[in-house]
Structure 1
Amino acid sequence: METQNNFKRTSELIIKFLKKELSVQEEKEFQQWLNASPENTALVESFRNTTHVQKEINYLSAVDINQGWADVSKQIAVKPTKTLAWSKILRYSAAAILIVSVGFGVYTFNAKIKSGNNETAAVHDIMPGSKKAVLQLADGSVIDLSDANLSLVGKNGKPTMWAKKGVLAFNPEENRNNRKGYNLLKTPRAGEYKMILPDGTKVWLNAVSSLRFPTSFNKSERRVELTGEAYFEVAHNKDMPFKVAFNKTEVEVLGTHFNISTFSGKSKTTLIEGSVKVTEGGKPQLLKPGEEAVVNNGAVNIHKTDTYKSIAWKEGAFYFKEDLMTDIMNQLFRWYDVEIIYKGNPDTKRYSGNIRRQATLNQALEMLNAVSGTKFSLEGRTVTVDFNK
């Protein structure tokens, strides 16, 4: 029976083979393993023949095999049993290295083996979210920004705003004297968008979120209203504090980097850099870098946190750290625009991992299944999570 070290070594060889990086000695070692069993050949071909591989093979250049295995070893205890064939374990170990190291589910693991021949299954899948948003202007007009490259020109012939490659920006000179009013940027399910406000503040808006902001800031403050989740890099201006209002909470800053999430009935403000003041119920509290303020039913709890967990979405990743499966599925619900149905009682186990948001839904579900053993099925745009063992 294969040992964990052998699984690691074989996984390394498979990855290097796919990347065409085998040395002469490794080539001999790989061929010896390959010729040892038809099942080995079928396993490798199942990776090579996956429909997504050729489009995404360039991502393999970023693989750090040693780090990938170190990460995977923490999550998956490779213990062969009578009910888990070594080939399946090897498939998950090699694939998990790819997913964790590259941060992208390169393989869909959907190959079927019949009569000794490999057959790739045609499986219904859902692509990840993309740059999608709708901008509602103060005059009531609506602009679909999805994949849009556009520019709006003012009366003097100069652009007042433009959108390009998923970024919306405003010309501060042309917006300074606009008549008062509010714009609203909204992202749907499976959508995200970046915006640069007239003062230079950068905002990344996550899926199912919105930001209401004035056509021009007044001379005393810069105030916006948030629903959902957004990451802010606020342009410094000591004379004009930047304020974010959400639920019954307000965050005030002069210039800093922070994330705010208002999903699930409670809000989280995570400070990356600088300082912010969180006011709830008229009571202000200061946050330091690396701290998070959780507001739930009017109560504020401030604690140290892993800041990357809060901003991973902005960096293009799902980053789970001691999360319940239901919390993980809530993220997939928003990013893939699917409905979630649960069978049985959701378990209380907590899971950690890292998957790129560019992965297809099936790729994400396969990885979660490999780590947790939870069964998933996809029909249309509905994911059924089966906790019945």
Structure 2
Amino acid sequence: METQNNIKQTAELIIKFLKNELSPQEKKDFELWLNASADNRALVESFRNTETVQHELNYIAAVDINKGWEEVSKQIQVKPAKTFSWNKLTKYSAAAVLVVALGFGLYNYLSTAKTRQFNQSAAVHDIMPGTQRATLRMADRSRMDLGTSSFWLVGDNGRIALGAKKGVLYFGKKGKRNNIAGNNVLETPRAGEYRMVLPDGTKVWLNAVSTLSFPTSFNQTERRVELTGEAYFEVAHNKAMPFKVAFNQTEVEVLGTHFNINSYGKTSKTTLVEGSIKVTENGRQQLLRPGEEAVIDNGAVNIHKTDTYKSIAWKEGTFYFKEDSMTDIMDQLFRWYDVEIVYKGKPDTKRYSGNIRRQATLNQVLEMLNAVSGARFSLENRKVTVDFNN
């Protein structure tokens, strides 16, 4: 088990390595640590390949490392029931950013014997993350189970009508599989996600437990689809044919833009990344600008500025938590790992911030959550028990 001082030194070396600022002696020390374990190398590679690492490094150029480490050390010595605020991290040291912000994992990894409270028997049983899989129900009632395999279907006119490659579904612009009118439905199960390119060139990312209904061909006045669950859209621009997304009792209209819609619960959220969109609820139309989010609850629409990355992180392969409750976090795990969630005791009211790669196994995610919360997690078959009675 490493001491806090050793953890601090290792964290500083990793930060300097990521920033390419190692001195010759530090480079030797870092290489010794790196070569001491395959897990050490894997840990560093996971940080280097994470898109948010550079975003975090931008905060730490002029920070007092020792002062920041003292702040984090105070929190580490407290019982795990604590909240790491994303905003608070911006004034911490390089070590603090690595220890806390990058997936909760570095401190937990370097001081496993001291901090890990996760049920060790769970190491024998684990659940892998979701994959690219979906079901396509065609208007002619045919059905296709989609995964990562590739296929191409030729239409009546000899052109490509439908195909899939590397987890992306494609519809040909001029190829028709048949003349049947109606809607196709792309549906993702728990632990599944999929991408699609519509005939007009619009790109759609469909999250787990979601469906997108779309016509075999768009009419001449509009491009209309219906969504349940969550999807991210990059709409191909066509001024003459607005693109409309219907979900719950809401409609979003765009000409060409990038936005995310989350309609899992009673409260839906539409987040605009670029361009502009119109949100219509109960006949009232409101305009969204980039960086804004429309929260729709029981017919009321509230528009506010937001962190757009929080809404689209899922499509980038990341669980991104920012002032989220434990129940909100577990809702995401329920969909991505296809597990049942059971609570013991009253869920706490604390809020948690940080990020975890969606490629992590369920046990890895639960270990990270255990390191920053007062809850205990146990995994049996496909049931996760969250125990707040500590």
TM-score, normalisation: structure 2: 0.79
Q: Which residue of 2 aligns with 1:116?
A: none
Q: Which residue of 2 aligns with 1:189?
A: 190
The answer as to whether partners of 1:211 and 1:226 remain within 8 angstroms in 2 is yes
Q: 1:105-124 residue pairs with structure 2 within 5 A? A: 122-124=123-125
Q: Does residue 134 of the first structure (1) align with residue 129 of the second (2)?
A: no
2:212 match: secondary structure: strand
For residue 288 of structure 1, report the CA deviation from its aligned partner: 1.1
Q: Which residue of 2 aligns with 1:67?
A: 57
2:265 match: secondary structure: helix
Q: 1:305-384 residue pairs with structure 2 within 5 A? A: 305-384=306-385
Q: Which residue of 2 aligns with 1:294?
A: 295
Q: Does residue 385 of the first structure (1) align with residue 375 of the second (2)?
A: no
- Write the letter of the residue equivalent to 1:77: V
| Same amino acid, percent of matched pairs | 65
Q: Which residue of 2 aligns with 1:264?
A: 265
Instruction: State the alpha-carbon separation in 2 of the partners of residues 320 and 82 from structure 1.
Output: 21
* Cα distance, 1:82–1:318 mapped onto 2, change above 3 Å: closer
- Write the letter of the residue equivalent to 1:359: A
* Cα distance, 1:239–1:181 mapped onto 2, change above 3 Å: same
The answer as to whether partners of 1:106 and 1:359 remain within 8 angstroms in 2 is no
The answer as to whether partners of 2:272 and 2:293 remain within 8 angstroms in 1 is yes
The answer as to whether partners of 1:95 and 1:107 remain within 8 angstroms in 2 is no
* Cα distance, 1:60–1:259 mapped onto 2, change above 3 Å: closer
Instruction: State the alpha-carbon separation in 2 of the partners of residues 365 and 11 from structure 1.
Output: 22
The answer as to whether partners of 2:104 and 2:354 remain within 8 angstroms in 1 is no
The answer as to whether partners of 1:104 and 1:359 remain within 8 angstroms in 2 is no
Instruction: State the alpha-carbon separation in 2 of the partners of residues 334 and 166 from structure 1.
Output: 19
The answer as to whether partners of 1:100 and 1:355 remain within 8 angstroms in 2 is no
Q: Which residue of 1 aligns with 2:73?
A: 78
User: C-alpha offsets along residues 81-111 of structure 1, whole Å, 9 cap, x if unaligned?
Assistant: 4979xxxxxxxx989837844x696999599
* Cα distance, 1:82–1:226 mapped onto 2, change above 3 Å: closer
* Cα distance, 1:112–1:279 mapped onto 2, change above 3 Å: closer
2:205 match: secondary structure: strand
Gaps of 5+ in 2: 81-93, 114-119
The answer as to whether partners of 2:232 and 2:260 remain within 8 angstroms in 1 is yes
Q: Which residue of 1 aligns with 2:151?
A: 150
2:129 match: secondary structure: coil
Gaps of 5+ in 1: 35-40, 85-92, 114-119
Alignment root-mean-square deviation, CA: 3.9
- Write the letter of the residue equivalent to 1:48: S
Instruction: State the alpha-carbon separation in 2 of the partners of residues 142 and 131 from structure 1.
Output: 17
Instruction: State the alpha-carbon separation in 2 of the partners of residues 381 and 231 from structure 1.
Output: 28
For residue 304 of structure 1, report the CA deviation from its aligned partner: 1.1
Q: Does residue 226 of the first structure (1) align with residue 220 of the second (2)?
A: no
The answer as to whether partners of 1:109 and 1:366 remain within 8 angstroms in 2 is no
- Higher relative contact order, chain-length normalized (CA < 8 Å, sep 6+): 2
Instruction: State the alpha-carbon separation in 2 of the partners of residues 386 and 26 from structure 1.
Output: 43
* Cα distance, 1:271–1:61 mapped onto 2, change above 3 Å: closer
Instruction: State the alpha-carbon separation in 2 of the partners of residues 29 and 155 from structure 1.
Output: 66
Q: Which residue of 1 aligns with 2:116?
A: none
1:272 match: secondary structure: strand
User: C-alpha offsets along residues 232-262 of structure 1, whole Å, 9 cap, x if unaligned?
Assistant: 0111111111110011111111111110000
Instruction: State the alpha-carbon separation in 2 of the partners of residues 379 and 6 from structure 1.
Output: 35
For residue 77 of structure 1, report the CA deviation from its aligned partner: 3.3
For residue 4 of structure 1, report the CA deviation from its aligned partner: 6.7
1:238 match: secondary structure: coil
* Cα distance, 1:61–1:312 mapped onto 2, change above 3 Å: closer
Deviates more, 1:369-378 or 1:292-301: 369-378
Instruction: State the alpha-carbon separation in 2 of the partners of residues 16 and 287 from structure 1.
Output: 41
User: C-alpha offsets along residues 186-212 of structure 1, whole Å, 9 cap, x if unaligned?
Assistant: 000111111000011110000000000
For residue 371 of structure 1, report the CA deviation from its aligned partner: 1.8
For residue 24 of structure 1, report the CA deviation from its aligned partner: 5.5
TM-score, normalisation: structure 1: 0.79
Q: Which residue of 1 aligns with 2:279?
A: 278
Instruction: State the alpha-carbon separation in 1 of the partners of residues 135 and 110 from structure 2.
Output: 36
For residue 155 of structure 1, report the CA deviation from its aligned partner: 2.3
1:125 match: secondary structure: coil
